[in-house]
């Protein structure tokens, strides 16, 4: 007779946790502001947290020198331009990307990086777009550029309760796109997918990059949710485009992201407009322009030259801690949280928590999405959880997280029910949910990151247990309307 393993009362009891102790040391020093007023930060998928060393570095740099628009030619301009170029090299070094193969385009965020590719990619009848259901809306939006160019757009569905993509379905979609391609030779399609889901935490295989290349596709890899706690080595995995937001990795600076692009793929993009800083020469009367020959052709206007140097420091800071160390700590906290949530059951025997996505640590990151259930099995409205969690000092995320495909897969929404004609006259999110006959409009998302500790995870489990376990459906005060998804 076998016995069930004894659950760990604390993440600190998990094998390997003690080896991540440096995170606790940093939390007590560089990240001690996270514990102000008893708050608990659990929204690392939304934004990373800034270390005090990053703030000091920014402050000291600005007061020690003078920097101006890099487009000018003077000493202060040269100083700013030099720091920007140093930051580019730091990005390539961090991701182990060969400078001869990859270029760094600074953007406002990962969404801006996606837009650059979408607006300039050579879509057409012979160059389709393939997307996974599991994608952030900033990636989903690329379909509008593809369709306006006459390209076919195909989605690869999610399958099973773990909300993964079957590789056979991906291959079918890639092949279907190829069947419909005709026209001039040498055109390629584009596959866009996330390395890690911002909804479920599922990590989709990086091997799909080479698989897509073999099928004649370029690949846009959304690494915004993956890179903060996982090593992305571009000397091993070679997507054509990688989209990033730096505040997701290390909290600061905001308003700066990047498109890492293979130089041959970047050269194939054709921008629909030009702006200051992107052109070598232009004529009004002659009605012509010549774009820059390097990555600056994609950097509209003046770069955020006072914040881009903070990217270099942030990367050095993260590297000094160790991405692998952060990965280990986040994995242990996620494993423990999933284990504890699965144990919470009402006196009726029903589960308190319904997790969307993998219920073990295998093949997933540190993002856990779920809904809470009443003893009778009905769902607790995620807006109520948001209100009560905020009152208790928890910063977490509720809603659908700008990922409608993963939400549709998680909630079992059929394609038929989302047809436009069935939703005619629906002009609010709440009416949309009613039309779909959904009991709630989203879920609750808890995510761990660089400065997360065992106490953060334990306090959340204690809150969920004390607040919702065996709590009958009651008459709550009115909840605010849902404004967006």
Other CB atoms within a 10 A radius of the CB of residue 425 amount to 6
Angle at the Cα of 392 from the Cα atoms of 361 and 9, rounded to 5 degrees: 40
The two beta strands, 443-447 and 129-132, are: unpaired
Other CB atoms within a 10 A radius of the CB of residue 184 amount to 8
114 is a catalytic site residue:
no
Whether 369 and 357 have beta carbons less than 8 Å apart is answered as yes
- Ranges of H-type helices in 157-225: 167-179, 208-214
Whether 243 and 222 have beta carbons less than 8 Å apart is answered as yes
Q: HSE (CB half, 13 Å, CA atoms) of 78?
A: 3
**194: β partners:** 222
State how far the Cα of 214 lies from the Cα of 170, in Å rounded to an integer.
Answer: 13
State how far the Cα of 404 lies from the Cα of 407, in Å rounded to an integer.
Answer: 5
Torsion angles phi and psi, residue 34, rounded to 5: -65, -25
State how far the Cα of 182 lies from the Cα of 191, in Å rounded to an integer.
Answer: 18
Whether 379 and 372 have beta carbons less than 8 Å apart is answered as yes
State how far the Cα of 218 lies from the Cα of 233, in Å rounded to an integer.
Answer: 18
Whether 192 and 220 have beta carbons less than 8 Å apart is answered as yes
Distances in Å between the Cα of 317 and the Cα atoms of 25, 193, 304, 312 are 15, 28, 20, 9
179 closest CA partner among 201, 197, 152: 152
51 closest CA partner among 33, 31, 35: 31
Q: HSE (CB half, 13 Å, CA atoms) of 290?
A: 3
Distances in Å between the Cα of 174 and the Cα atoms of 168, 177, 192 are 10, 5, 11
Torsion of CA 304, 307, 311, 313, to 10 degrees: 150
Whether 271 and 120 have beta carbons less than 8 Å apart is answered as yes
Out of 243, 400, 402, 485, the active site residue is 402
State how far the Cα of 248 lies from the Cα of 230, in Å rounded to an integer.
Answer: 12
State how far the Cα of 94 lies from the Cα of 232, in Å rounded to an integer.
Answer: 9
Preceding omega of 253 cis (within 30 degrees of 0) = yes
State how far the Cα of 423 lies from the Cα of 413, in Å rounded to an integer.
Answer: 14
Give the three-state DSSP class for 156.
strand
Catalytic residues: 402
């Amino acid at each position: 007779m076998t016995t069930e393993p004894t659950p760990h009362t604390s993440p600190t009891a998990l094998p390997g946790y003690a080896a991540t102790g440096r995170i606790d040391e940093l939390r007590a020093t560089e990240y001690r502001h996270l514990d102000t007023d008893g708050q608990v930060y659990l929204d690392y998928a939304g934004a990373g947290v800034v270390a005090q060393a990053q703030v000091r570095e920014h402050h000291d740099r600005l007061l020690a020198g003078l920097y101006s628009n890099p487009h000018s030619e003077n000493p202060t301009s040269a100083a700013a331009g030099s720091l920007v170029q140093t930051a580019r090299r730091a990005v390539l070094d961090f991701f182990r990307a060969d400078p001869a193969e990859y270029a760094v385009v600074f953007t406002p965020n990962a969404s801006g990086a996606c837009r650059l590719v979408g607006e300039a990619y050579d879509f057409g009848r012979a160059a389709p777009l393939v997307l996974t259901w599991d994608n952030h809306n900033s990636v989903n939006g690329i379909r509008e550029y593809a369709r306006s160019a006459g390209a076919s757009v195909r989605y690869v569905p999610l399958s099973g309760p773990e909300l993964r993509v079957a590789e056979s379905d991906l291959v079918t979609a890639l092949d279907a796109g190829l069947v419909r391609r005709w026209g001039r030779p040498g055109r390629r399609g584009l596959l866009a997918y996330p390395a890690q889901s911002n909804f479920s935490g599922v990590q989709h295989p990086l091997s799909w990059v080479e698989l897509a290349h073999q099928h004649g596709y370029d690949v846009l890899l959304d690494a915004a949710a993956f890179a903060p706690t996982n090593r992305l080595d571009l000397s091993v995995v070679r997507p054509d485009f990688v989209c990033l937001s730096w505040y997701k990795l290390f909290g600061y600076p905001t308003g700066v992201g990047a498109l890492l692009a293979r130089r041959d793929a970047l050269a194939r993009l054709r921008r629909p407009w030009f702006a200051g800083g992107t052109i070598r020469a232009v004529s009004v009367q002659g009605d012509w322009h010549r774009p820059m020959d390097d990555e600056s052709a994609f950097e509209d206007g003046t770069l955020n030259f006072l914040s881009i140097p903070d990217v270099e420091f942030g990367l050095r800071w993260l590297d000094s801690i160790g991405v692998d160390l952060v990965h280990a700590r986040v994995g242990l906290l996620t494993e423990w949280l999933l284990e504890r949530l699965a144990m919470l059951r009402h006196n009726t025997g029903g589960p308190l928590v319904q997790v969307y996505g993998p219920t073990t640590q295998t093949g997933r990151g540190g993002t856990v999405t779920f809904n809470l259930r009443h003893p009778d099995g009905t769902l607790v409205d995620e807006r109520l959880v948001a209100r009560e969690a905020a009152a208790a000092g928890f910063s977490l995320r509720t809603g659908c997280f700008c990922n409608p495909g993963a939400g549709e897969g998680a909630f079992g929404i059929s394609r038929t029910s989302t047809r436009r004609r069935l939703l005619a006259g629906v002009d609010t999110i709440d009416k949309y949910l009613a039309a779909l006959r959904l009991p709630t409009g989203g879920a609750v998302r808890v995510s761990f990151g660089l400065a997360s500790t065992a106490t953060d995870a334990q306090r959340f489990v204690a809150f969920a247990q004390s607040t919702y376990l065996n709590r009958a459906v009651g008459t709550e005060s009115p909840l605010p309307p849902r404004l967006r998804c």
